[in-house]
Structure 1
Amino acid sequence: MPDPSVVIRPARLEDGEHVWPLAKAFATSFTPERSAFDATWKQLVDVPDTLLLVAETTDAGIVGYLLANSHLTFLANGPVAWVEEVMVDETLRKSGIGRLLMEHAEQWAKSKDAAYLALASRRAGPFYLALDYEDSATFYKKPLT
């Protein structure tokens, strides 16, 4: 059962300072740069069709975040939603915070009339399977930089 002191809310511009350490710890394929994070953070707060949430506790402050977006597709006969990043502080994993973030993302995706909510994950498969997500595809990427 999630701690009732956890609040999931839309991110604000001033939250970037607290999300940066989480984003830095999340990255595995790239090394995040602070200046690029700051510039991107400013662009993502309050963008239509983008969901940027933080998980905040009364004791520890911001302990997680989620970034998702929605876009139109042909294959799904309309919009789909995609979780780009979801991260919870390592010391608070398995406390229900990730579940709360994903539940908020699901509600947001439904409000966008998305056919589905999807994400790519190599490290957290059991977590998503426990939330009733299906292992659906193999993820391919080609670095361009």
Structure 2
Amino acid sequence: MPDQQIRTRPARLDDADQVWPLAHAFATSFTPEHAAFNTAWPQLVDVPGTLLLVAETPEGNIVGYLLASTHLTFLANGRVAWIEELMVDEFHRGSGIGRLLIAHAEDWATSEGAAYVSLASRRAGPFYQTLNYEDSAVFFKKNLH
């Protein structure tokens, strides 16, 4: 059950400084650069087809974030949603914040007309399975730089 004090909301431009440490801690296969984050942040806030959420305490501390987008496909006969990043501060894990962010993303995906929500996860498979996500494919990537 999520902490009733935590709320999710769309990210704002002035949230960048609080989200940066979470994004930096999220990465396992890349080392995020602060300058690149600062360039990308304003391009992702309030962009159609993109959802950038934060989880915030009553004191205004951001303890989690989620980045998702939708795109058209042939396979699903329309739009699908992809959760690119979901991160909760390590001291707040297990408190329901991830569930809260996912629920908000699922509602958003439905409102966007998505046929399904998908994501890739290296570390949190059991968490997503408790939310009725199923292992559907193997994720491949190729670094280009």
Q: State the TM-score bracket (shorter-chain normalisation).
A: over 0.9
| Rounded Cα–Cα distance in structure 1 between residues aligned with 2:108 and 2:143 | 30
Percent identity over the alignment is: 70
Alignment of 1:1-145 (within 5 A): 1-59=1-59, 61-145=61-145
SS for the counterpart of 1:118 is strand
Matches of 1:60 and 1:30, distance apart in 2:
29
Classify the secondary structure of the residue corresponding to 2:133: coil
Q: How many residues align?
A: 145
* Amino acid paired to 2:28: T
Q: Provide the TM-score with structure 2 as the length reference.
A: 0.98
Give the RMSD, CA atoms, in angstroms. Answer: 0.8
Instruction: Note the residue ranges of structure 2 that are not aligned, 5 or more in a row.
Output: none
The TM-score normalised by the length of structure 1 is 0.98
Per-residue CA deviation, residues 29-67 of structure 1 (Å, 9 max, x unaligned), is 110000000000011001100000000012461000000
**Distance (Å, rounded) in 2 between the aligned partners of 1:77 and 1:88:** 33
The ranges of structure 1 where at least 4 consecutive aligned residues each deviate by more than 4 angstroms after the TM superposition are: none
